[in-house]
Amino acid sequence: MSEEANVAGALTPQARAELVQRLMKRQAGLSLRVAAVFVVLLIGIPLFNLYAPEKAATSEFGFTFAWLFLGVVFFPITWLLSAFFVTRSDALEAEIARSEREHLSTAKSAEGAKS
């Protein structure tokens, strides 16, 4: 059983719902940022061809710059964006689980001190 599951199991249904909502909100923001980078790259290629055709037609390594970017560079960039998203998303989950564990241990300590 993962740490996140252990923390979620110790929470009330309302607290669990708030935890999930907070996590989803932060992951949605992360998704939008990663998607924005992807869209800028995707739309930037045709705009670069339109507004700087002489630079786009410049040959590098036997390819025009536009085809070099599309055929060689774009694929690794999407992999890096995906890896960044997954890594950061996992970090968000771990951060929220850690903060909830600390909250639960503080609450249990306070409860023990009252007894």
pLDDT in tens, 50-71: 999 998 888 888 888 888 888 8
Q: What pLDDT score does 1 carry?
A: 43
Do 81 and 34 meet the contact criterion of CB atoms below 8 Å apart?
A: yes
Cα separation, 14 vs 11, in Å, equals: 8
Model pTM score: 0.70
> Per residue in 94-112, is it b (16+ CB within 10 Å) or e — as a string?
eebbeebeeeeeeeeeeee
User: Percent of the chain having pLDDT more than 90?
Assistant: 36
Q: What pLDDT score does 88 carry?
A: 95
- SS3 label, residue 1: coil
Token representation of residue 23:
């996590």
CA 49-53-55 angle, to 5 degrees, is 100
Q: What pLDDT score does 115 carry?
A: 59
Instruction: Single out the residue of 97, 95, 47 nearest to residue 69, CA to CA.
Output: 47
User: Percent of the chain having pLDDT more than 70?
Assistant: 86
Of 9 and 114, more confident:
114
